[in-house]
Amino acid sequence: MAEKKVLITGDRPTGKLHIGHYVGSLKNRVQMQNSGEYDPYIMIADKQAFTDNARDPEKVHRSVLEVALDYLAVGIDPQKSTIFIQTAVPELSELTEYFLNLVSIARLQRNPTVKTEIQQKGFGESIPAGFFIYPVSQAADIALFKGEVVPVGDDQEPMIEQTRELVRTFNRYYGADLLVEPTGVFPPKGQGRIPGLDGNAKMSKSLNNAIYMSDDEDTLWAKVKTMYTDPEHIRVTDPGHVEGNMVFTYLDIFDPDEDRVAELKAQYRAGGLGDMKIKKYLFEVLNAQLMPMRERRARYAQDPAAVMQMLADGSAKARQKAQATMQELRAAMGINYWN
Ligand code: ATP
Ligand code: MG
């Protein structure tokens, strides 16, 4: 049997996961996990969460369990995937430090995702140094596990590229084939960056514009109801625009019945299809997909101690693997003085 490929990815515990995470990354992960072709490592990136939440340790702490529950809800299976917490593997910080010497500040300044996030987060002149270098820490996460495939959303493309560069440099300096160049696995076109409810380019935990996978029916309806449509579509009989209309943007992504969506678009454009009616339809589509997740989540949420134990087991296994690789790397760097 062919060796299973190491899959690695993760999420920051900065809140519950949303439907953007689902289509952007979780869906691919679950499919890959179930294909049996991969050895998946799924990381709850608490260390990275601190890079822009240093003042809110309570939020990071609380969100670890929430993210773990979201994983279980979508079908990440601890029997098949190693789910672990980043800070439980301190070797990741060690490799980050060595990696930092292999990249210039100018190179880090060119990362387009970090640039956008710095603006969004309003850091101004006070960008936390840890935040600025987080792509390097992410590269260490991927490289230390010798990750070969990384299922992520479109915003992570520059991070994968940065990782490939760091791996190449590390191998050049300390020994060929020590670390592996990873490949990003991105969602189908148009699904790699789900826009927010407010029409913002990205649905994000930190921007308050998300539909969470755990939202109950009332919350879901309340959010869909207030979604941005077409401001010129005032009377039901008025012709409406579907471009830039969030309801249709979401239908394109979430409704598997493409013919039906095409029909609805035609009707909306011609006039005669009301916003409430189309929103009700979107609600039904989303609700049908979220219902089984909600139910599974509620079941696991009844026993948080068992979920934390699952994370402890996964973290112990992940640390063992990381320690083994770190030993190899130390030897290659000549810093294994006593053996
Ligand atoms: P934060 O605002 O705290 O950064 P986030 O919503 O960006 O949170 P992350 O934990 O940073 O979430 O990202 C986890 C994964 O989800 C990454 O692979 C990322 O590409 C993907 N992802 C995040 N937001 C979206 C989105 N709106 N559409 C598609 N994929 C997304
Ligand atoms: Mg993010």
What CATH number did the domain enclosing 254 receive?
1.10.240.10
Give nearest CA residue, ligand 1 atom 13. 11
234 and 320 part of one domain: no
Q: Are 93 and 130 members of one domain?
A: yes
Whether residue 204 is contained in a domain is answered as: no
> Helix, strand or coil for residue 271?
coil
C-alpha–C-alpha distance, residues 66 and 15, integer Å: 7
Instruction: Specify if 92 maps to a domain.
Output: yes
CB 203 near ligand 1, within 6 Å? yes
For ligand 1, say whether the CB of 214 is within 6 Å of any of its atoms: no
212 falls within a domain: no
pLDDT along the chain (339 residues), means of 10: 90 95 92 97 98 97 98 97 98 98 97 94 93 98 98 94 98 96 91 84 84 95 91 88 92 93 94 92 96 96 98 98 98 93
CA gap 168, 93 in Å, rounded: 19
What pLDDT is stored for residue 191 in this prediction?
80
Q: Which two tokens stand for residue 95?
A: 């490799």
**How many helices (H) and strands (E) in the chain?**
15, 5
Query: Which atom of ligand 1 lies at the shortest distance from residue 154's CA?
Result: 20
207 is a domain residue: no
Q: Are residues 309 and 292 in the same domain?
A: no
**pLDDT (0 to 100) of residue 1:** 59
Determine the 3-state secondary structure of 38 from DSSP: strand
Tokens of 21: 């995470």
**Residue 27 Cα distances to 58, 155, 336, angstroms:** 29, 16, 41
Per the DSSP assignment, residues forming a β-bridge with 238 are none
Q: Is position 203 within any domain? A: no
Residue 27's nearest CA partner among 60, 74, 70, 65 is 74
Helix (H, G, I), strand (E, B) or coil at 170: helix
Q: How far apart are CA 149 and CA 151, in angstroms?
A: 7
Q: What is the chain's alpha carbon radius of gyration, rounded to the nearest angstrom?
A: 22
Tokens matching residue 288: 């049908």
Whether 127 and 250 map to the same domain: the answer is: no
Q: Are residues 42 and 65 in the same domain?
A: yes
8 lines ligand 1 (CB under 6 A): no
Q: Does the beta carbon of 14 sit less than 6 angstroms from any atom of ligand 1? A: yes
CATH code for position 186: 3.40.50.620
Cβ contacts of residue 244 below 8 Å, gap of 6+? 199, 230
Query: Does the Cβ of 194 fall within 6 Å of ligand 1?
Result: yes
Is residue 202 a part of any domain in this protein? no
77 and 175 fall within a common domain: yes
Classified as helix, coil or strand, 151 is strand
Contacts of 167 (CB under 8 A, 6+ apart): 139, 143, 179, 180, 181, 182
**Centroid of ligand 1 to alpha carbon of 153 (angstroms):** 7
3-class secondary-structure state, position 149: strand
Inside any domain, residue 321: yes
- Note the Cα 250 to chain centre separation in Å: 18
Distance CA 45, CA 54 (A): 14
Same domain, residue pair 25 and 174:
yes
Question: What six digits make up the tokens of 263?
Answer: 């029909």
Q: Are residue 162 and residue 126 in the same domain, yes or no?
A: yes
User: CA-based angle 116:63:56, to the nearest 5?
Assistant: 65
Q: How much is the pLDDT for 229?
A: 87
CA torsion sign for 253, 254, 259, 264 is: negative
Beta strands in 104-239 (DSSP E): 149-151, 183-185
92 and 109 fall within a common domain: yes
Domain count, the chain: 2
Say yes or no: 291 and 160 in one domain: no
Give this prediction's pTM.
0.93
Q: How far is CA 49 from CA 56, 214, 295, 328, 337, in A?
A: 10, 21, 28, 28, 34
In terms of residue numbers, what domain contains 110? 5-194+304-333
- Same domain as 251, residue 121: no
Residue 325 in any domain: the answer is yes
Residue 172 in tokens: 């050049």
Question: Which helix (DSSP H) or strand (DSSP E) does residue 321 occupy?
Answer: helix 304-333
Pocket test for ligand 1, best of 7, 11, 142 (most atoms within 8 A of CB): 11
Distance CA 11, CA 108 (A): 21
**Do residues 93 and 19 both lie within one domain?**
yes
Q: Output helix, strand, coil percentages for the chain, rounded to the nearest 5.
A: 60, 10, 35
User: Is any ligand 1 atom within 6 A of the Cβ of residue 204?
Assistant: yes
